């Protein structure tokens, strides 16, 4: 195992992803818990991430010198290099000029550069730099602006790079990380999803014993994979409550049911469409709608949960980014926003089961495949907890939902047929509350305007609108106005996020 010590750098998750992509398990810990975690977890190697501070600032993250006395190989990156130098008696100073962007690196012979040609590109982003090496270190690379761009203490297995090998712009960055892991730390690259699945199933079995587990299944990727894993681990001791709020996309409820109905667990589908539509009557404000849906979700879940006597564990599909983003919480972070709203309060349980909490999203998808879930569940796009309730603008009614479901289905079907399904990260239709005049045959129509939304994004925090070819938009538009009643106009949303958000509400 490799331990990634986080100094607050923007690439902390990326480093962990790179290590895992090399089939080596790793975890991220905050710098102030580094020593404790190292002694507990006994990693075979440690990576210090970058960070926004200067080592000599009063509040800059520091680390204990003892970390260097554990005889575990360490790789420091950017701030990680500076803190290594600073802690071990070297000197760090602001450079005259900030160095940012792709830079040519000249390298010397070192294990970390095995197989890498001299003069390769790396990604630099720093103000400070190491001016004087700590004792026992030697310089192993330089750039025009940075005489000590990498250093090593071969005997103590300490290595440090001023640049960011984890970023794609670093030409041989992956090879450098691989060299550290395999050549320096001597870690075997044998971590994979099949091993993880076996291990996670055993862990859940041990934790749950004879207890009963309850899971709120939304049909999203995380809760579906949690359900599949738990059902393999505890079978009939698991009850999944699938609250069908009537705000799902076309066929979605049946797909979820088909995937889980015969899997050995207790699967309860609650048809709560009427309850939700009742709560949404007359509600037009987006936040009020979100709140109404979230609260009703909890109420329905509680009503069903109460029928199951003595639940011991509540399962959640919390994933690793949730934990990292919540500041690598001191205690188990309970994701209050997991499915739709908060956690139910009335259902008593002893403990939480969160089998995905060490996995990244694409690892969750791989685990789902490993556990035999169908592609349509595993590859599902993010779908907001409040469902189509926030894609029908204005008051939500059954009629409007049905119109939207049919139109949305056609849009998604055409994009998938055109082979764009994988490269566009999220795409859906929105039923606006706007009606306009049209002409159909010889008749006047006065019907809804439908908006199409499709975005490319990696993190969903920012997004660019997808440049869908006109011919495809044309086909989608024709099909929708011909096949779906009550829509006579279609527009394509060409705003990015920011300033717009991905969803309309």
Candidates 109-117, 152-160, 400-408, 495-503; binding stretch for ligand XMP (CB under 6 A): 495-503
Q: What are phi and psi of 81, to 5 degrees?
A: -70, -45
Min CB(426)–ligand XMP separation in Å: 5
Query: What string of DSSP letters covers 318-355?
Result: --HHHHHHTTS-SSPPP-TTSSSS---SSS--SEEE-T
Let me know if 146 is a catalytic residue. Answer: no
**Which member of 86, 126, 164, 338 is catalytic?**
164
Q: How far, in Å, are 8, 57, 188 from residue 176 at the CA level?
A: 22, 30, 16
Q: Measure the CA–CA gap between 115 and 128, rounded to whole angstroms.
A: 29
Q: How far, in Å, are 67, 81, 122, 174, 279 from residue 152 at the CA level?
A: 16, 10, 18, 18, 64
Site string (421-460) toward ligand XMP, x via CB under 6 A: -----x---------------------------------x
Contacts of 106 (CB under 8 A, 6+ apart): 118, 119, 141, 142, 143
Does residue number 386 form part of the binding site for ligand XMP (CB under 6 A)? yes
Query: Treating both helix axes as pointing N-terminal to C-terminal, what angle do 361-370 and 193-208 enclose, rounded to 10 degrees?
Result: 80
Q: What are phi and psi of 338, to 5 degrees?
A: -60, -60
Let me know if 78 is a catalytic residue. Answer: yes
User: Between 42 and 337, whose beta carbon lies closer to ligand XMP?
Assistant: 337
User: Between 212 and 391, whose beta carbon lies closer to ligand XMP?
Assistant: 391
Does residue number 305 form part of the binding site for ligand XMP (CB under 6 A)? no
Does residue number 160 form part of the binding site for ligand XMP (CB under 6 A)? no
**Which member of 166, 354, 370, 414 is catalytic?**
166
Min CB(294)–ligand XMP separation in Å: 8
First to last CA, the chain: 43
Q: How many residues bind ligand XMP (CB under 6 A)?
A: 10
Using CB atoms within 10 Å of the CB of residue 2, give its burial: 0 to 12 exposed, 13 to 18 middle, 19+ buried.
buried
Does residue number 462 form part of the binding site for ligand XMP (CB under 6 A)? no
Does residue number 295 form part of the binding site for ligand XMP (CB under 6 A)? no
Let me know if 26 is a catalytic residue. Answer: no
User: Between 95 and 343, whose beta carbon lies closer to ligand XMP?
Assistant: 343
Min CB(384)–ligand XMP separation in Å: 3
Using the structure block, give the residue that is written with the tokens 């940075």. 146
Q: Measure the CA–CA gap between 113 and 74, rounded to whole angstroms.
A: 15
Min CB(324)–ligand XMP separation in Å: 17
Does residue number 476 form part of the binding site for ligand XMP (CB under 6 A)? no
Candidates 188-196, 359-367, 383-391, 431-439; binding stretch for ligand XMP (CB under 6 A): 383-391
> Catalytic residue numbers?
78, 164, 166
Contact footprint for ligand XMP (CB under 6 A): 382, 384-386, 426, 460, 497, 501-503
């Amino acid at each position: 195992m490799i331990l990634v010590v986080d100094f607050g750098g923007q690439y902390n998750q990326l480093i962990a992803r790179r290590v895992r992509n090399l089939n080596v398990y790793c975890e991220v810990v905050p710098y102030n818990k580094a020593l404790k975690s190292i002694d507990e977890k006994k990693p075979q190697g440690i990576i210090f991430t970058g960070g926004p501070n200067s080592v000599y600032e009063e509040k800059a993250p520091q680390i204990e010198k003892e970390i260097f006395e554990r005889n575990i190989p360490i790789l420091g990156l950017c701030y990680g290099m500076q803190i290594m130098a600073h802690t071990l008696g070297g000197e760090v100073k602001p450079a005259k000029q900030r160095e940012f962007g792709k830079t040519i690196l000249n390298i010397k012979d070192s294990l970390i550069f095995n197989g890498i040609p001299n003069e390769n590109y790396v990604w630099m982003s720093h103000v400070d730099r190491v001016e004087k090496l700590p004792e026992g270190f030697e310089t192993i690379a330089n750039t025009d602006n940075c005489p000590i761009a990498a250093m090593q203490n071969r005997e103590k297995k300490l290595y440090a790079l001023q640049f960011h090998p984890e970023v794609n712009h670093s030409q041989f960055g992956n090879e450098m990380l691989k060299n550290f892991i395999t050549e320096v730390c001597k870690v075997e690259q044998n971590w994979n999803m099949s091993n993880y699945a076996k291990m996670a199933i055993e862990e859940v079995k041990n934790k749950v014993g004879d207890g009963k587990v309850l899971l709120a299944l939304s049909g999203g990727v995380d809760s579906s994979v949690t359900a599949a894993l738990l059902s393999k681990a505890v079978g009939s001791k698991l009850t999944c409550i699938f609250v069908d709020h009537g705000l799902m996309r076309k066929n979605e409820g049946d797909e979820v049911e088909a995937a889980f109905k015969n899997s050995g667990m207790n699967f309860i589908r609650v048809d709560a469409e009427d309850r939700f539509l009742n709560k949404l009557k007359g509600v037009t404000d987006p936040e009020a709608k979100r709140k109404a849906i979230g609260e009703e979700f909890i109420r329905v879940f509680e009503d069903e949960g109460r029928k199951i006597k003595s639940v011991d564990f509540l399962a959640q599909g919390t994933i690793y980014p949730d934990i990292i983003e919540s500041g690598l919480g001191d205690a188990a972070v309970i994701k209050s926003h997991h499915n739709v709203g908060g956690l139910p309060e009335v259902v008593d349980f002893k403990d939480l089961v969160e089998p995905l909490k060490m996995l990244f999203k694409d690892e969750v998808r791989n685990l789902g495949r490993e556990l035999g879930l169908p592609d349509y569940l595993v590859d599902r796009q993010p779908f907001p907890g409040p469902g189509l309730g926030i894609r029908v603008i204005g008051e939500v009614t059954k009629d409007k939902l049905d119109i939207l479901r049919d139109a949305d289905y056609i849009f998604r079907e055409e994009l998938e047929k055109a082979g764009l399904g994988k490269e566009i990260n999220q795409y859906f239709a929105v039923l606006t509350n706007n009606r306009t005049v049209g002409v159909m045959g010889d008749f006047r129509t006065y019907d809804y305007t439908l908006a199409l939304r499709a975005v490319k994004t990696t993190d969903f925090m920012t997004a660019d609108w997808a440049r869908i070819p006109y011919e495809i938009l044309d086909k989608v538009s024709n099909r929708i106005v011909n096949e779906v009643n009550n829509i006579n106009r279609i527009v394509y949303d060409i705003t990015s996020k920011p300033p717009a958000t991905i969803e309309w509400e």
